[in-house]
Structure 1
């Protein structure tokens, strides 16, 4: 299908769809076992003895109910806490990387909220498995709303951590939401840039035009059918050899017991065919300089295929800003490898700047 070829061109972050199968592909025995296991356990990491975790819900400005996990340090005393909103990667859920970050930062004394973006995971919104640069930016603001209403949170000391594709939305949210005092990203992706221009800005005008024409035609089909069509499975059901290394890395996180979760689009789902439409014409980071004078910390792996996004944002942003390149790390290392993710730096950054 031409439309599927286009999605591969406009969004390398669709995680190698060209190597995938239709979203209706049946799970093999190993995948069914992983799904059963994670439905019982729910999380890809063990709950720390040093924190509490509570399922919470809150609404964004568009009336969509978001689902989150609130992590608090045990024995926190009576003083109000600095707080962090955390989400990502793009297509992941709070039981994966963002929840792990939230737990570890709660162990270090912060109130933290990891949430599922609109239309994914346990959050509301129909149809399912669609994203929006505007609505997903708003999701961060709604999480700030929620934290600022909690008596145990100092609403003057709220920061944001964005991971992977949700990091672009996190930066966009901080630019517009002056309540947020500091922001950090890891393995950042600018989803509007990669969908509208291709990986490393390699998309030609002819390719962009052809793709938009194909997706525009798809809208007629969706309208006629009364439901939007799902694209191919985000990641292949199994590796067959010859896949790009970034696909192998994503597979080894999302499709193995290391990071699999049944609610994650990236683990066993698919985005809608027309999902790139709003990302094609709405650049996220036009106002990146307006994050200043609030501090920004960008963290990327030395060998990450996404490294250039963080480096380019660093060049664009105003001071104060800092870019950290983690030696030998690839993109997904910053999802869950606690010996690679610089949590000491994140702790010091937010304790210094949430004042």
Structure 2
């Protein structure tokens, strides 16, 4: 375990951070950074699990979120999903929607066993491409009492349909033939070739394969979304263990995402609440809006004025930390029995829904 602190955001010296390790149910050892609020050992605290963006590491956006939530009284953990960062997994730079979903529940296992965490008040946050896994985990793991997403990307939809669902049936078939052919090549060589997880098409309508080429300097005419990613991953938050703008995914990685539609069971999160946050100018905004339409109550959609997709990674002026704090505090309230005026009147409070009875 390295001693050098490689976090890419401003560190709050008042917040203690501990390196932790825990296994998921597939036996993969996961790495997390546990952020602890002041006085955490004196009471049972609410907890929040954070991961994302897709291809990022816990020293980037998820660590910033976890640290800020700890400063607001939550025991928080940012973790590296399987196969990346400091987490285990034999094939590096691989991604699996099922295993990444399990990783959230494994993190719940860990924090729920801590003596200073209230098991009835554990929430989850997914940033960008980990949003779908956070929601999918919450759909079946009822220990997650509330879930929030920031700059959601539905990675299954993105890889199998393209941005804004632009792939034609012909293009989808070409991608499937490419991925299937690449599996033959990997099987013959016994290796895993690198490639992009988002397949574009050239002027001849053929798939563009191979690794993303990251320019040493951002071109002046760069696409605004690419430029925003570049400024974050290649400049102000560059990290050697991150996949994005540093290395590459395995070329056949998209196969599992084609077979695992992440939003299929979003209604199963109910009656636990969902908060979806997106930037007004984000190229990914439609993912949050579509997820909101598909989800059951209680649900909230928050659009941040003037924000793009990457602003919600590290722009403290645009990340709605106050809203996140209120959401998790109010929506993870444990059942309470409150008596008043000598009567047997009580209020049962759970997930922000109040019912009265005598």
Deviates more, 1:110-119 or 1:273-282: 273-282
Alignment match, 1:91: 55
- Deviation at residue 39 of structure 1 after TM alignment: 9.4
**In the alignment, which of 239, 254, 257 is matched to residue 279 of structure 1?**
257
Give the conservation status (yes or no) of the 8 Å contact 1:39–1:262. no
Residue 130 of structure 2 corresponds to 166
- Paired residue for 1:110, among 74, 81, 87? 74
Q: Secondary structure at the match of 1:351?
A: helix
Task: Give the secondary structure class of the aligned counterpart of 2:278.
Answer: strand
| Preserved CA contact (<8 Å) 1:234 1:271 | no
Q: Which residue of 2 aligns with 1:254?
A: 233
Aligned counterpart, 1:310: 288
SS in 2 for 1:289: helix
RMSD: 1.4
Structure 1 residue 77 displacement after superposition: 4.9
Verify the 8 A CA contact 2:41 2:116 in the aligned structure 1. Answer: no
Q: Is the 8 A contact 1:66 1:123 kept in 2?
A: yes
Distance 2:228 2:138 in 1: 30
| 1:23-76 deviation per Cα after TM superposition (whole angstroms, max 9, x unaligned) | xxxxxxxxxxxxxxx995401123212210000010111110000000001223
Within 2, Cα distance between the matches of 1:56 and 1:288?
30
Q: Distance in 2 between matches of 1:269 and 1:47?
A: 26
Out of 312, 328, 334, the residue aligned to residue 350 of structure 1 is 328
Aligned mates of 1:75, 1:350 — CA distance in 2: 19
SS at 1:266 equivalent: coil
Using the TM superposition, give the Cα deviation of residue 339 of structure 1 relative to its aligned residue in structure 2, in angstroms. 1.2
- Which of 47, 53, 63 pairs up with 2:17? 53
Check if 1:198 corresponds to 2:198: no
Larger-gyration structure (1/2):
2
Indicate if the aligned counterparts of 2:49 and 2:107 stay in contact, CA closer than 8 A. Answer: yes
Give 1 or 2: higher helix fraction. Answer: 1
More strand by share: 2
3-state SS of the aligned residue for 1:128?
coil
* Partner-residue secondary structure (3-state), 1:239: coil
Q: Equivalences for 1:187-336 in 2 at 5 Å? A: 187-231=151-195, 232-233=211-212, 235-256=214-235, 258-336=236-314
Gap runs ≥5 in structure 1: 1-37
Asked if the contact 2:94–2:250 (Cα under 8 Å) also holds between the matched residues in 1, the reply is: yes
Q: Is the 8 A contact 2:40 2:75 kept in 1?
A: no
Partner SS state of residue 277, structure 1 = helix
Answer yes or no: is the 8 Å Cα contact 1:234–1:270 preserved in 2.
no
For residues 219 and 74 of structure 1, the distance between their equivalents in structure 2, rounded to whole angstroms, comes to 51
2:14 matched to 1:75?
no
Deviation at 1:205, TM superposition (A): 1.1
Q: Which residue of 2 aligns with 1:152?
A: 116
Q: Is the 8 A contact 1:56 1:70 kept in 2?
A: yes
Deviation at 1:325, TM superposition (A): 0.3
Q: Give, in whole Å, the separation in 1 of the partners of 2:265 and 2:286.
A: 19
Q: Distance in 2 between matches of 1:172 and 1:324?
A: 20
Query: How big is each residue's C-alpha offset from its partner over 1:164-183, in whole Å with a ceiling of 9 and x where there is no partner?
Result: 00011111110011111000
The CA distance in 1 between the partners of 2:122 and 2:39, in whole Å, is: 20
Moved more, 215-224 or 106-115: 215-224
Q: How do 1:122-133 and structure 2 match up within 5 A? A: 122-133=86-97
Helix, strand or coil at the partner of 2:126: strand
